[in-house]
Chains A and B, each alone.
Chain A
Amino acid sequence: MSSLKAVLFTFLLLVCSGAAHAELEITVTGGDVGALPIAIVPFTQDGDIQLDLAQVVDNDLSRSGRFRTLPRGDMLQKPVTPTQVDAKTWRAQGIDNLVIGQAAKSDGGYVVRFFLIDTVSGQQIMAYDIPARSLAQMRYVAHQIADLVYEKLLGVPGYFNTKIAYVSATGLQHERRFELIVADADGENPRVIAMSREPLMSPAWSPDRKQLAFVGYERGRSAIYLHTLSTGKVKRLVSERGINGSPAFSPDGRYLAVTLSFENNPDIYVIDLQSGARRRLTDHYGIDTEPAFSPDGRTLVFTSDRGGQPQIYQVSVDGGDARRVTFEGRQNLRASYAPDGRSIVVVNYAGGRYRIGMVDLTSGDLRILSDGRLDESPSFAPGGAVVIYATQGPHGAELATVSVDGRVRQRLRQTTGDVREPAWSPLAR
């Protein structure tokens, strides 16, 4: 079949202020009945490579809910190269696909070679050599393998080599400390981006995932900041009298939609990040906030209580009349678009519960995805198969993901303190 392809492997390495004090713990519940059976065989690895690469790949794929991975104890053979694979044995166990590989030292670093093998045809359907300059990159190589397998078998890009930004709050009252943290999508390698005794809020990724916008308080005022991940530099973008909140990047990264109230009450504005020019998009005496751009950049959705209760409205990026798009439930808030632009996820308030719902923008139909009481901050993971949100757990606020069919749920929590306001980074390009 095809010869081995070496892929140029580039991804962002964050230069940050330091490791966070607590990592996220992950638990997964439920499962997709249509999950693909797959086996990730332990790789043979040179002695100094401590990380269990196959286990990272296994975790990524099984947590997605789209794969059912074979436990290692059930594996009857542990092949490393395609010629060692006895396809019949795997087929007999109901395994359609097999990932095998090895990691070894090479000139200037390491190289991880892996194969994806279809046990039905007996063919290798994918083979890669992935170079790594250092041991620290091994985890990202494993995520890259999971991404490649996911995309090859499901036809949509994997999202495992991504980051999650979130806000952590620890301590009560005047002891409270806020941290803005960026971690790998599997909760590993948390890094503190900003910390404050005043609230930190509303992290939003730039589309090139090089910057994070967020809200903080300084000298008795709120402000919107831009943090550049590679340099650690923070720029105060806007700090008007009143509210400075809800930053959201346009898909091309040129504009930032925000909520400002200095002209009397909260309205949506669009800031040109190059020129600094500012344009007012809504002008209403109600609260207009929580803007989000559509994937094509031509419209925005936002929350407004202009009709009495907060609901979601849609407006052209050029302004003009806003159109209400949510009707089910007493309130709907904080919308964000699915990657295909056809639906939005919202916080839906009905029956005394705040839960995450998905609204079809064509039909207006609402589908409830979560089962909490105070769920909030929903957004899609890259690829759109999974929604991440914040929820109230037994030990404090935690993060959760749910597959868009509602079947697979994942909880991510810190051992101490609250975690909230998750924002999933875009895919690396």
Chain B
Amino acid sequence: MQMKYWLPAAVVAMTMLSACSSTGSRSDASTAPSQTSEPYTDSIAPSGSALEGEGFDASMAAERNLKSNLVYFDFDQSSIKPEYQSVVDAYARYLVANPAAKVRLEGHADERGTREYNIGLGERRAMAVEAALRAQGVSSQQLSVISYGEERPAAEGHDEDAWALNRRVQIVRQ
């Protein structure tokens, strides 16, 4: 019985890692600034504008360390896996160093399961990232959470590769 639960999760994790490391176009999306990776989100300021006039070295350095804005999850899970802790840590440092900066945490799910349940699951994932950021001293005023469930897939397709890329939280700077 236990095997039934764990085997698919292991397969999912493996295919996800391979998908992330092998697909050039997708790693582009995960390393580019969040502003350009999500063309459908409107009202996004250009990268430097939020920091204009502040010019603290520490805050600039923290911003440069924002390499990826994506945290991926296992099927029906919302715990942050060790390999994505560095993404959360980088945003925590950036937000603590830039108290005026704000991010929106967009929670997403793969297409399996029902749409409204996946809205709940996406929110739970976004709130897991929110809690991790708060734990590192980020103010709640800097964070907002929205769930898109399965409505905004990053990858089309109906297989594990696509699903693994869609179970995610995107940290979007505002």
Contacts and interface: CB of A to CB of B under 8 A. Distances in A.
Task: Give the size range of B's interface with the partner.
Answer: 20 to 34
Given A290-B114, A333-B113, A197 B121 contact: no
**Closest 8 pairs (CB-CB, A-B):** A287-B120, A199-B151, A174-B39, A174-B40, A334-B114, A333-B114, A246-B116, A266-B120
A259 interface: yes
Given A174-B39, A197-B40, A220-B146, A347 B124 contact: no
B94 to A, nearest CB: 21
A286 B158 CA distance: 27
A261 B145 CA distance: 11
Interface string A184-213: 000000000000010101100000000000
B147 interface: yes
Interface in A297-345: 303, 305, 309-310, 331, 333-334
A266 B114 contact: no
Interface string A330-364: 01011000000000000101001010000000000
B123 A376 contact: no
B119 interface: yes
8 contacts: A176-B40, A199-B151, A243-B123, A259-B120, A289-B116, A289-B119, A310-B117, A374-B158
Interface in B105-134: 111-117, 119-121, 123-124
A377 interface: yes
Given A174-B40, A199-B148, A220-B146, A245 B119 contact: yes
Interface of A: 172-174, 176, 197, 199, 201-202, 217, 220-222, 242-243, 245-246, 259, 261, 265-266, 287, 289-290, 303, 305, 309-310, 331, 333-334, 347, 349, 352, 354, 373-374, 376-377, 392, 420-421
A243 B119 contact: yes
B15 interface: no
Contacts of A352: 8
B146 A221 contact: yes
B67 interface: no
Contact of A287 (B39, B111, B124): B124
A374 B111 contact: yes
A206 B117 CA distance: 22
A197 B148 CA distance: 13
B19 to A, nearest CB: 17
Contacts of B117: 287, 289-290, 303, 305, 310, 333-334
A261 B116 CA distance: 12
Contacts of B158: 373-374, 392
Contacts of B111: 374
Contact of A259 (B116, B145, B156): B116
B123 A242 contact: yes
Given A305-B117, A374-B112, 12 more contacts: A201-B151, A220-B104, A242-B123, A289-B116, A289-B120, A303-B116, A303-B117, A347-B113, A349-B113, A352-B8, A354-B112, A420-B115
A220 B147 CA distance: 10
Nearest to A331: B113
A395 B87 CA distance: 37
Contacts of B119: 201, 222, 243, 245, 259, 266, 289
